[in-house]
Amino acid sequence: MSRSAHPAGPRHADVLPEGHYSAPPADLNALDPKVWAQTVERGEDGVVTVGGIGVTQLAEEYGTPAYVLDEADFRARARAWRTAFGTDADVFYAGKAFLSRAVVRWLNEEGLNLDVCSGGELATALSAGMPADRIAFHGNNKSPEEIERAVHAGVGRIVLDSFQEIVRVAHIAQSLGKRQRVQIRITVGVEAHTHEFIATAHEDQKFGIPLAGGHAAEAVRRALQLDGLELIGIHSHIGSQIFDMSGFEVAAHRVVGLLKDIRDEHGIELPEIDLGGGLGIAYTSDDDPREPHEIAKALTEIVTRECESAKLRTPRISVEPGRAIVGPTAFTLYEVGTVKPLDGLRTYVSVDGGMSDNIRTALYDAEYTVALVSRASDAEPMLVRVVGKHCESGDIVVKDAFLPGDLAPGDLIAVPATGAYCRSMASNYNHVLRPPVVAVREGEARVVVRRETEEDLLRLDVG
């Protein structure tokens, strides 16, 4: 398996045959609802609209590149997760996928909780009014200052990731005169991504405390002894872009096994179990993600069954979807700058952004699709690679796709399913300015994260 295909890449390098894009889609003007946000459609004039607004108008008003986010779609997905899990479970949106104050307000209104994993994410959440008790604080190396701010703010839980952190959080909580609710993140020897998972005996990763070797049980022992901590549960997060539920099945089995050991040793039943996030979305038409209600049903059944056989009360379940909520809600709108046919190979289409606004292709071998959105075209399909404007040959946005053969500079193209891990991983490479996030809803567009300016860049550069 190639390093670059793991962990947040869309699929294992070995799963799909090379070049499965060999045949162009039947209709290049069609927009597969699987990969596009729900209000996206192509109007009769050929211009694609979102929330009732044409992309040509958006480009004119806000410039390109821009992330265009369908607010109705975001809210619908958030609500679907919330509803699917009901009142006996908690849904924490993983803020690292994409976080802004508008998003925090939407989540708050839709009744979701929020995962943060840095002081910056915590500050964003609090400044947009997310109640602290609905925030979970993650991370494998939270600084003492971050821990102090989180405890002081009263976050609902801190997810402990190491032996040092157990002591650190306990100490800080005690010095603030508080008892902090915590979970312990364990690694259960399950590595899941895409269509398969690997169950191994040992762990080789930075997150969590290994279940194997009795380490997780020892962490529980220590946490239970410390006055500053209230241990409420066990946390497990097994991977990213997962379609196959069997990894969760093995993970739940092992976590419940630990809960049973804890009951046998300490006489207590921990009330919560967090199964993390990682649920997959459709980046291309080949991907078949499950609906939230199917996932909720499967996860609830797995945990209930495991607890029944261990004779444990079923704990309250929480899940942490990030990508599955925000990923499909946005597309990146680019303007074509150059079109360069290479004989017998492919045509390189250069856009006005690139790896600074979408690093996933370079980092994970991620796959995306692309469409011409400023007009319809009946021209023959041509095989393209969509590349950015950066000084790097790996600056690829879409590796292989088909666009109409009459594509020309000035056309607008859009890459769907860029809501997660694109703006949040964006950089200033080549001093390129990070694009805005424009939220569209019912015929109205507004900037929720503005475009960076050269002034922003120069303000950081103090000379």
Ligand X SMILES: *Cc1c(COP(=O)(O)O)cnc(C)c1O
CA distances to 42, 419, 420 from 48, rounded to whole Å, are: 4, 18, 21
Considering the complex, what minimum distance in angstroms separates the CB of residue 201 from ligand X?
Answer: 22
Figure out which of the listed residues 12, 77, 82, 96 binds ligand X, where binding follows CB under 6 A. 96
Considering the complex, what minimum distance in angstroms separates the CB of residue 265 from ligand X?
Answer: 26
Figure out which of the listed residues 234, 324, 336, 449 binds ligand X, where binding follows CB under 6 A. 324
Which strand (E) or helix (H) includes residue 335?
Answer: strand 330-342
Is position 62 annotated in a ligand binding site? no
Give the residue closest to ligand X by C-beta. 322
Nearer to ligand X, 42 or 138 (CB): 138
Three-state DSSP class for residue 9: coil
Figure out which of the listed residues 59, 78, 97, 295 binds ligand X, where binding follows CB under 6 A. 97
Considering the complex, what minimum distance in angstroms separates the CB of residue 274 from ligand X?
Answer: 8
Q: Which amino acid is at 429?
A: Y
**Pick from 24, 16, 13: which is nearest to 384 by CA?**
24
Q: Which amino acid is at 411?
A: D
**Mask for 219-258, x = binds ligand X (CB under 6 A):** ------------------x--x------------------
Considering the complex, what minimum distance in angstroms separates the CB of residue 115 from ligand X?
Answer: 6
- Rule CB under 6 A: say whether 350 interacts with ligand X: no
Only one of the segments 23-31, 69-77, 124-132, 320-328 lies at the binding site for ligand X (rule: CB under 6 A); that segment is: 320-328
Which strand (E) or helix (H) includes residue 197?
Answer: strand 196-199
Only one of the segments 248-256, 322-330, 332-340, 342-350 lies at the binding site for ligand X (rule: CB under 6 A); that segment is: 322-330
Three-state DSSP class for residue 178: coil
Considering the complex, what minimum distance in angstroms separates the CB of residue 116 from ligand X?
Answer: 11
Of 120-139, which residues contact ligand X (CB under 6 A)? 138
* CA atoms of 277 and 270, how far apart (whole Å): 21
Radius of gyration of the chain (CA): 23
3-state secondary structure 383-426: EEEEECCCCCCCCEEEEEEEEECCCCCCCEEEEECCCCCCHHHC
- Rule CB under 6 A: say whether 189 interacts with ligand X: no
Q: Are 389 and 353 in contact (CB under 8 A)?
A: yes
Three-state DSSP class for residue 117: coil
* CA atoms of 59 and 333, how far apart (whole Å): 8
Considering the complex, what minimum distance in angstroms separates the CB of residue 389 from ligand X?
Answer: 28
Nearer to ligand X, 134 or 237 (CB): 237
**Mask for 395-414, x = binds ligand X (CB under 6 A):** --------------------
- Rule CB under 6 A: say whether 94 interacts with ligand X: yes
Q: Which amino acid is at 95?
A: G
Is position 421 annotated in a ligand binding site? yes
Only one of the segments 145-153, 259-267, 272-280, 389-397 lies at the binding site for ligand X (rule: CB under 6 A); that segment is: 272-280
Catalytic residue at 117?
Answer: no
- Rule CB under 6 A: say whether 279 interacts with ligand X: yes
Dig out the tokens for 162 from the structure: 């190491």
Nearer to ligand X, 49 or 187 (CB): 187
* CA atoms of 306 and 312, how far apart (whole Å): 9
- Rule CB under 6 A: say whether 435 interacts with ligand X: no
- For tokens 């080789």, name the residue: 204
Only one of the segments 76-84, 209-217, 317-325, 339-347 lies at the binding site for ligand X (rule: CB under 6 A); that segment is: 317-325
- Rule CB under 6 A: say whether 186 interacts with ligand X: no
- For tokens 């169950």, name the residue: 199
- Rule CB under 6 A: say whether 320 interacts with ligand X: yes
* CA atoms of 7 and 175, how far apart (whole Å): 38
* CA atoms of 361 and 378, how far apart (whole Å): 29
* CA atoms of 65 and 383, how far apart (whole Å): 22
Q: Are 175 and 153 in contact (CB under 8 A)?
A: no
* CA atoms of 176 and 449, how far apart (whole Å): 35
Residue 278: other Cβ atoms inside 10 A: 24
- Rule CB under 6 A: say whether 292 interacts with ligand X: no
Is position 321 annotated in a ligand binding site? yes
Q: Which of 117, 307, 391, 422 is catalytic?
A: 391
Figure out which of the listed residues 289, 322, 416, 435 binds ligand X, where binding follows CB under 6 A. 322
φ, ψ (nearest 5 deg) of residue 388: -95, -165
Q: Which amino acid is at 21?
A: Y
Of 36-75, which residues contact ligand X (CB under 6 A)? none
Is position 278 annotated in a ligand binding site? yes
Is position 323 annotated in a ligand binding site? yes
Annotated binding site for pyridoxal 5'-phosphate: 278, 320-323, 421
Annotated binding site: 278, 320-323, 360, 364, 392, 421
Sites of contact with ligand X (CB under 6 A): 94, 96-97, 115, 138, 237, 240, 276-279, 320-324, 420
